Chains A and B, each alone.
Chain A
């Protein structure tokens, strides 16, 4: 038993040398987006001041969880404007993660267990961070943060590359963390299921117990990883908005 590979569903012409063909991975992304949009729209279809039912309460709770713990805690007074973006990110990653829990490894896998997807999301978050940073503090202010204030020029030139590497490590860690967690979790789950198929009859129960335990843990990991990615995105945006940085830029 093995995970499904890359399958081209519709061959499309390349754009700037990039193969834009619709693959099974793209379809998984679309499925994740479609499920996220449908479920959230259904959950919030009632426009009444009082929440109705468990379904609406659950998703309202998740939205407010992102609003309280990611937006307001990190982004301060203007947090409300960022909540839709962060909530979209959270729900998209969450559904993308949960696709890996569908017990059909021949057709489904976590949309986020692909490095291209997580790198894409991390680059997108960092593009937003850089845009916000430059828009608020200017290009000069943005570049100044790579040279810590008060250092002699010689040491400053040495420190600057380290700062750049440290700054670039953030989106890399953001992408790799999500990818590695989803990949590893689902790989383990697949191993347990494969063991269950191939094990001797009197040992078949052991991998089954392991697979059930792993599935429960993986469900938890799906939520946690979506939250961590969103939380870190919020923190990076918050860094870009920080007033301290603004004063450094002004100097």
Chain B
């Protein structure tokens, strides 16, 4: 029982990170209908931004501290939002009216470009760098169970950001415009929605989310390197599809489910070596029964 409860905690903590990354994937997909492969690299850039900002902030506010961590995260999120908007402007906007596959390959190109540029020794270098402790960390021991404060922070932040995103998408004017663009780009443009501005806004928001996720991921595993985004990126992509891509609560659900599955598979001797495969196998099974994901709406093709 104790084993089970502990694994439940571990799984939820891992799943929350996946969920947070999946939110960014899902949002961009919801508006533009294409998978932004570079999302996982923006996540990495977010962690590196914090890595370089932290020593500067430390001169004003001592780290680890809550205010310091907030400030570092905010600045990194802003930087990444800028990077996201820049990527959209330079690489994706010129291809807006092209087939989606063209944009997909461009996204892969952008992803490779960021990864290899960052691995160059004049940029970050390919080696692993120790990530600074931004938040005071303690472990809470409860009846034989251990909950680390970082994990609690991750769960909390994910919940807050999901709520915030839901608010933005459903209750603000920008959000309404985002939904309009997602529903029908041309019609939205005819209704006076500034498509370019809304898409740039979506990318900025998604990239800021990626930066937050990157920093939380780096707090959990404090070694950062230019390829750190690849593995969680794929997981989050699976999570987003699992939940029904384009659907924000679905992305969260998918992330949590994937985290739990991986954790329970990983905790069993003999199964742990198949951990990567098991997550996929269950994903495939679920998609066979729910082809549009858990919360996605199945669309019937009309003639």
**Are the chains A and B members of one assembly?**
no
The chain A residues found within 8 Å of chain B, CB to CB, are none
Q: Interface residues, chain B, CB within 8 Å of chain A?
A: none
